[in-house]
Amino acid sequence: MSTNISRGELKYEGKAKRVYATSTPTEYIVEYKDDATAFNGVKKAQIGGKGAINNAITAHLFPQLEQAGVPTHFIERLSDTEQRVRAVTIIPVEVIVRNVAAGSFSKRLGIEEGTPLSRPVVEYCYKSDALGDPLINTDTAVALGWATPEQLSRIRELALNVQAFLVPYFLERGVRLIDFKLEFGTLQDGTVVLADEISPDTCRFWDAETNEKMDKDRFRRDLGGVEDAYAEMLRRVTAPAQG
């Protein structure tokens, strides 16, 4: 499929991925790792096969999101654990979209996990490991120069478009999408595009029949069966829609 492209200088190493420059200044290579962290890096382990699974899930979903009108950084999958992407400057705002109360939302507001929300909730966090990704609002992001009001309204629009695509997509494959986290970046001409990944590391997935957790909460909460859940999610994501 591809393309003679090879890794240059390591630009950035995060908890789950490495980003490399390439000989083309407008393109990067992203390498997905098996490393897993939770609770702001306090809990660490390897999840066997995770890098390849998250690469494959993201590579399956991003082109479909493009087709649905969401521009993304994704170009192509290069290998089991690598993908070729457009170089972006990441906007340091993590965007969380919620359909059902869970995790930090349930804790913060005292709402039982599993309570459906009457409309999607979009939340914003400052992307800072040192501070533990604190909750912010859009005024904060503008006042501190992280994004413009126009970029933030575009981000919200795109995040809700992602939501509108993904909820039925997963439901048709036996999965409830509880919540998920997105990151956006800007191309050199300023266009806002979806970046990062969409995977069991960044989404809460519950089995539609049993509500069994099929995502990183199995690792965070020591539920066991982590590798199996990731593998099953890859199988479902790449399966055709059920009747």
Instruction: Using CB under 6 A, list all residues that contact ligand UDP.
Output: 96, 102-105, 133, 179-181, 202-204, 216
* Shortest CB 23 distance to ligand UDP, Å: 31
Question: Which of 123, 73, 124 lies closest to 98 in space, CA to CA?
Answer: 123
Measured at CB, which residue is nearest to ligand UDP?
103
Q: Is 146 in contact with 177 (CB distance < 8 Å)? A: no
Q: CA distances (Å), 139 to each of 1, 85, 149, in order? A: 44, 30, 8
Question: Which of 177, 90, 89 lies closest to 126 in space, CA to CA?
Answer: 90
Q: Closer to ligand UDP at the Cβ: 27 or 35?
A: 35
Residue 218 three-state SS: helix
Q: Closer to ligand UDP at the Cβ: 179 or 232?
A: 179
* Shortest CB 205 distance to ligand UDP, Å: 9
Distance of alpha carbon 31 from the chain centroid: 15
Q: Closer to ligand UDP at the Cβ: 78 or 226?
A: 226
Q: Closer to ligand UDP at the Cβ: 178 or 192?
A: 178
* Shortest CB 170 distance to ligand UDP, Å: 13
Q: Closer to ligand UDP at the Cβ: 104 or 161?
A: 104
* Shortest CB 240 distance to ligand UDP, Å: 25
Q: Closer to ligand UDP at the Cβ: 78 or 216?
A: 216
* Shortest CB 4 distance to ligand UDP, Å: 33
* Shortest CB 103 distance to ligand UDP, Å: 2
Strand partners, 27: 86
Q: Is 85 in contact with 74 (CB distance < 8 Å)? A: yes
